Amino acid sequence: MNRVITIVGARPQFVKASVVSRTLKTEGVAETIIHTGQHFDENMSRIFFDEMEIPKPGYELGIHSLGHGAMTGKMMVEIEKILGEDEPDGVIVYGDTNSTLAGALSASKLNIPVAHVEAGLRSFNRDMPEEINRIATDHISDLLFCPTETAIENATKEGLGLRSELVLSGDVMFDTILHFKNKAVHPSGVPTEDYILCTIHRQENTDNRERFLNLVQLLNNIAKKHVVVFPAHPRIKNMLSSVKLDNNIRIIDPVGYLEMVSLISNASLVMTDSGGLQKEAFFCKRYCLTMRDETEWVELVENGYNEIIGDDLEKAMDMVGVHYGNTIDNPLPLYGYGNASQVIARHISGNYEPLGDEKPGLPEKDLRSNLGCG
């Protein structure tokens, strides 16, 4: 592919696209970015493009604050127009958002090859909109970049390798952490040590009032002993304003990527329902408690780096006691060695050659020193 269109719309996609866009340019691939506007808050969108040096989008659709069907459909209408006029060689989509599915569907119906970065992930919970998006996207994509062996196995079991190319690429979010870790800046007015970093945003936790209140109680109990720093989306911040919070819970505005890396790296523990933050905690050698009933990042749980706590107050308190203040020593290379973006860009450009004697998609042995940013 010589010319591609990349479709992004949410924070995790900006993070992933930052390193891939840079490497595509190195490989001689011309890229145009479509920003759907799915995340419209300034701190969750524009700041990422600025501080991560992502090329300015060629198209900004401004589509947000709609239901799943309306949002996805409206995105498809606009994306289809652009693809029809631009006629790229391929389309790149990331992750599992409505923007991902809209981009993949639009390209597929126009017979434009689709490359899905972060393919093959499964939580096996069909109640999650993200699970539906990632399954559908995988099944209509032509090039599946899988970050882990487990993702390859999932895709293979679904027969995706029969019509699509499966590539064990490693995880581009690891590339990003390694590239930006020395530029991290701690947000002003926030403790620089001895705190728990917390985020909550998934529908399974916020649309169920009883579960949301259980999580608030859980955090209040933890805050009796530890400071909790909570960057909150505008919608979540509004929800939290209607409940009583312990004084040790510090609600702050959403932060940019460089500030988030600092918050993770200096935290004594991470608690989240975010898929991306689970991995970022691991990359920064921090233990994570996941406030969901399952995770697509099963290797983190299997190796003891991540504990699934759901909204279980008793388990949460126990796990905080076990992991608070500890760091991960000698982390396993679960997500590659930090050159996933090279693997992806070389496959897309047609310039791919194995980078060493490791498994396909993984780099030279000397890159193992990259493991961990903490």
Give catalytic residue positions. 201
Cβ-Cβ contacts under 8 Å for 209 (sequence gap 6 or more) = none
Q: Which two tokens stand for residue 23?
A: 């490497």
C-alpha span between 348 and 23 (Å, rounded): 11
C-alpha span between 349 and 164 (Å, rounded): 17
**C-alpha triplet 48, 22, 277: angle, nearest 5°:** 45
* DSSP line for 236-258: HHHHHTTS---TTEEEE----HH
CA separation, residue 277 to residues 6, 33, 115, 264, 283 (Å)? 23, 24, 23, 9, 10
Q: Which two tokens stand for residue 88?
A: 């790229």
C-alpha span between 279 and 143 (Å, rounded): 23
CB 23 within 8 A of CB 345: yes
CB 213 within 8 A of CB 243: yes
Write down the residue that tokens 């009032």 correspond to. 209
Q: Which two tokens stand for residue 220?
A: 């209040």
C-alpha span between 123 and 150 (Å, rounded): 12
CB 14 within 8 A of CB 8: yes
C-alpha span between 232 and 332 (Å, rounded): 31
Q: H/E element holding 212?
A: helix 209-223
